[in-house]
Amino acid sequence: MARVLVTGSTQGLGLAAARLLLDDGHEVVLHARDESRRAAVGELARRGARVVIGDLAGAAATESVAAQVNAFGRMDAVIHNAGIYLDPRRVATPEGHARTLAVNVLAPYLLTARIERPERLVYLTSDLHQGGAPSLEDVDWTARPWDAAQAYADSKLFVMALAFALARMWPDVSSNAVGPGWVPTRMGGPNAPDDLEQGHLTQVWLAVGAEPEATSTGGYWYHRRRLAPTPAALDEDFQRALVDELARLTGVRLPR
């Protein structure tokens, strides 16, 4: 039995992944943005899942989530599922960061730095990462005119590069990125063409699967198939520069 944290697990892919893990006998830690969302996971909580609360748009709340998780003991795996799609304008977090960057990139980075190191890390990305700009100039959109689609694509490139950087930096940890496809969740919309069930199976497999592929590291996965990511995500110089930039933006460095 594994102990697994799933962020953003009150709906959609995160909830489906958490339910499957619980069905398979694993210990699950759910994450809700605020107390009002706790009711959405009441069924799983009654079955023994634990719940941590915190809005990942803010650094203090993200630090609190990490502390709540650590209080339960070491996780075997963390699925970084929480994310937002298209903010129509640049919404600022309490620290002044663009919310898209904060939730999709800064929060996974900060949780990774603060949560006791698990054996496996899974980061949710998107095939839209291919449109991400491999540049760290003005990543927070303070100088450029806001472009919601570009900000999202950039964030998914960044979180994929982070997953690959960790695979290189922490060889004792399995760190992978998953593109779930365009699935009919609240984020994806009702007309999304991909299979909702297939959308959450790969991250669960990478979190607890016993097959050699499931325990591998540094991969980009879609429906349990390893795909080639955009070359920028594999660029070690870009990975190092990204990790340095995330450390600067958060004030927190990854443990070595």
- Positions marked active-site: 152, 156
Query: Which stretches within the chain are classed as H helix?
Result: 12-23, 42-46, 59-71, 99-101, 107-114, 148-169, 196-208, 231-234, 236-250
CB 250 within 8 A of CB 106: yes
Token pair 């930039």 is found at: 245
Q: How many CB atoms lie within 10 A of CB 251?
A: 9
Residue 206: phi and psi, rounded to 5, are: -70, -25
Sequential DSSP letters for 159-177: HHHHHHHHHHH-TTSEEEE
Pairing of strands 27-32, 77-80: unpaired
